Amino acid sequence: MCFGYKRKKLTDLQKESLAIIASQVENLFESKDRFQGFVNNSSDVIYELDNFGNFVFLSPSITKMLGYTPDELLGKHFKLIVKEEDLPKCEAFLLRLLTEGELNDVIEYDVRHKDGHYEWHESKCSIIHRDDRVFVMGIAREITAWKKAQEELKQLNEELQKKAEQLRESEKRYSDLFLESPQPMWVYYLDTYKFIQVNKAAIARYGYTEEELLNMHVWQLRAEEEQLQSKEYHKTNTFATNNYNVRRRHQTKKLLR
């Protein structure tokens, strides 16, 4: 017995629907290929954990980064390679991620290379849902050099702060010696010979206020007939001590020795 079958023509709507489905399938395969290419060629490690913390996927870059093949770690808990001291914060991070969903935080931790040495890594993770299950997808990268530079910068800042504190203490000792000295003392500009700072003894000795002295030149403390000599002396003896005999002028115009 034979039956005849008359093939029905597709409507324009059906044709359009099939074309859309075919395009979506093609895009899906292209996306899958692009993702697979990204995973295979990425220098970072792309991984997936189940909600217990076991590896269910690892990109091939794990071998170059840590010496393990993906098969050596698949099905194993991440505690196998994370430094013991960092396990509590990593477990807390996973729990927060599973409880709260997406986190903007990046977690840093020490991880053990296959040869036994440790490296600093950081991970950025997100939640994915597949087959009615929850997984954690993460991207890990090595940051050992960056952490080392960060530690060196921290030590340098501590040393600079220590030096700055020592400098402040030194300046305070100098200031105390200068300001409290019983001998009249002052500091002046080498180009203008105007006073920069005077101590208490100078103010008491010459009768001028501090403000008045800071608006004067060094030679204005000398008798008028000696001011020219004083100018020449300071020009030719920039770093010499004032050990020559001169008379100094008090605010009341009285000349002092």
Q: What is the pLDDT of residue 73?
A: 96
Over residues 28-83, the pLDDT tens digits come to 555 545 545 545 555 789 899 999 999 999 999 999 999 999 999 999 999 999 99
Q: What is the pLDDT of residue 174?
A: 82
- In CATH, 42-142 is 3.40.50.150: no
Tell me where in the chain the CATH 3.30.450.20 domain(s) lie. 42-142, 182-256
- The arrangement of strands across the sheet holding 55-58 comes to 55-58, 45-50, 133-142, 118-130, 107-112
Average pLDDT over residues 129-154: 88
Q: Measured between alpha carbons, how far is residue 81 from residues 89, 119, 195 in Å? A: 14, 10, 69
Helix, coil or strand: residue 101: coil
Give the architecture (CATH level 2) of 182-256: 2-Layer Sandwich (3.30)
* pLDDT-derived band at 5, boundaries 50, 70, 90: very low
Q: What is the pLDDT of residue 126?
A: 87
